Amino acid sequence: MNRFDYICPTTVAEAVAGAAETGSAYLAAGTNLVDLMKIGVARPQRLIDVTKLPGLDAIEWSPDGSVRVGAMVRNADLAYDLRFAENFPAVAEALLSGASAQLRNAATVGGNLMQRTRCAYFQDTASACNRRAPGSGCDALEGDNRLHAVIGWSEHCIATHPSDFCVPLAALDAVVEVEGPQGRRDIPFESFHRLPGDTPEIETNLAPGELILGVRFPAEAARFKAHSRYLKLRERTSYAFAVVSAAAALDLQEGSIRHARLAVGAVAAKPWRIREAEEGLIGGEPTTEAFAKAAEIALAGASPSGDNAFKIELARRIIVRALALAAEGTPRAMPALPGSPFSSASGVSHVA
């Protein structure tokens, strides 16, 4: 790990001013940043510890039913907050399907949004990687790329975004509140993360030095609470990143779909919201045929970036199954294995 200076500001203004200095990085729980610093992938000159900033660790409800979740709220505290989980069950399920209990106790909302890809070449400083070292090439193109992107990738980078939490956030029209040297602004969740294009090193639309203050959920996002699921396929049952995942949310009225939300995870460099598939579902009945059609639309533009064509079919099936589970209804209690295909409620087809 390189040497660095450490400051621990006690106001947002102080933190933002501190970050204006080049080579600075915000430190939250450190579960991603400290890891990357140990292996030499992140080499900040100065850490700005944001864990002591006041007012960023609250879950605040507005009278209209919208909610603001502070950037320092820990992943576990959000997932187990009763009111939050009742209104946004797919978000709670996604959070509980991620990492481990220890990591969720530490990891923050802001840090989760900003976590870096798990591409093995990105993490290995001896490999070529445009995301880590712009212009150096991409060893994943001809390497071990089973788990890499099938949507929105470019010849410059085929990495995926690893977050579970971010998938339902994209589906539910969350908004990221940030503060930077130019003041405060909102970034709609869908335009928060970026596809690689020819600048994979620019991962988000956060400007340099901008601090995430929190994430807002609009009141409308709670209309899906009775029919929401997050489904995550992993290479082992727990404590593993997604191979593919999906957040599905339906608003059903007298047997037909009034509103639908769908986003897929681990297929692109950003959580992948699919509005065309949502639109196709609206007004129809929640049938397997309708869900299969939505999945076709969702993956119409997908193509393998390497040895990963299987992820397209897998994503199709996960979408159909997540929608079917959502149609069945949000489980009364959080499943013992959150997000797991091995924990499905009885009655739903195990084969999509």
Would you tell me which residues interact with another protein (CB under 8 A)?
A: 1, 3-6, 8, 27, 29-31, 34-35, 38-39, 47, 49, 51, 76, 80, 99-103, 105-106, 237-239, 336-338
User: What is the distance, to the nearest Å, from the Cα of residue 133 to the centroid of all Cα atoms in its chain?
Assistant: 24
CB of 300 to another protein, least distance (A): 35
139 binds, among another protein, ligand SF4, ligand FAD, none (CB under 5 to 8 A by kind): ligand SF4
Half-sphere exposure at residue 257, Cβ-oriented, CA atoms within 13 angstroms: 27
How many C-beta atoms lie closer than 10 Å to residue 336's C-beta? Answer: 8
214 binds, among another protein, ligand SF4, ligand FAD, none (CB under 5 to 8 A by kind): none
Applying CB under 6 A, does 93 fall inside the site for ligand SF4? no
91 binds, among ligand FAD, another protein, ligand SF4, none (CB under 5 to 8 A by kind): none
Applying CB under 6 A, does 129 fall inside the site for ligand SF4? yes
Applying CB under 6 A, does 217 fall inside the site for ligand SF4? no
CB of 349 to ligand FAD, least distance (A): 26
Angle, nearest 10°, between helix axes 288-298 and 310-328? 140
Please report, as residue ranges, which positions from 146 to 175 form the binding site for ligand FAD (by CB under 6 A): 162-165
CB of 155 to ligand SF4, least distance (A): 10
- Count the site residues for ligand SF4 by CB under 6 A: 15
Among 103, 128, 309, 334, binds ligand FAD (CB under 6 A): 103
What whole-number distance in Å separates Cα of residue 352 and Cα of residue 350?
A: 6
Please report, as residue ranges, which positions from 184 to 213 form the binding site for ligand FAD (by CB under 6 A): 211-212
122 binds, among ligand SF4, ligand FAD, another protein, none (CB under 5 to 8 A by kind): ligand SF4
b/e map of 29-58 (b: 16 or more CB within 10 Å)? bbbbbeebbeeebbebebbbbbbebeebbe
Identify which of 59, 167, 163, 146 has the alpha carbon closest to the alpha carbon of residue 104. Answer: 163
Tokens for 251, please give them.
């608003």
What whole-number distance in Å separates Cα of residue 201 and Cα of residue 135?
A: 10
- Alpha carbon of 2 to those of 32, 39, 109, 122: distances in Å? 16, 10, 26, 18
Residues forming beta bridges with residue 257, ordered by sequence position: 252
- Classify residue 254 by burial, with Cβ atoms within 10 Å: 0-12, 13-18, 19+: exposed
What whole-number distance in Å separates Cα of residue 202 and Cα of residue 193?
A: 9
Q: Which residue is it, tokens 């956060």?
A: 206
164 binds, among ligand SF4, another protein, ligand FAD, none (CB under 5 to 8 A by kind): ligand FAD
What whole-number distance in Å separates Cα of residue 122 and Cα of residue 288?
A: 39
Dihedral sign, Cα of residue 172, residue 173, residue 176, residue 177 = negative
112 binds, among ligand SF4, another protein, ligand FAD, none (CB under 5 to 8 A by kind): ligand FAD
Applying CB under 6 A, does 117 fall inside the site for ligand FAD? no
Query: For binding to ligand FAD (CB under 6 A), which residues are involved?
Result: 25-33, 35, 50, 71, 98-99, 103, 106-108, 110-112, 114-115, 162-165, 211-212, 241
Query: For binding to ligand SF4 (CB under 6 A), which residues are involved?
Result: 117, 119, 121-122, 129-132, 138-140, 157-159, 200
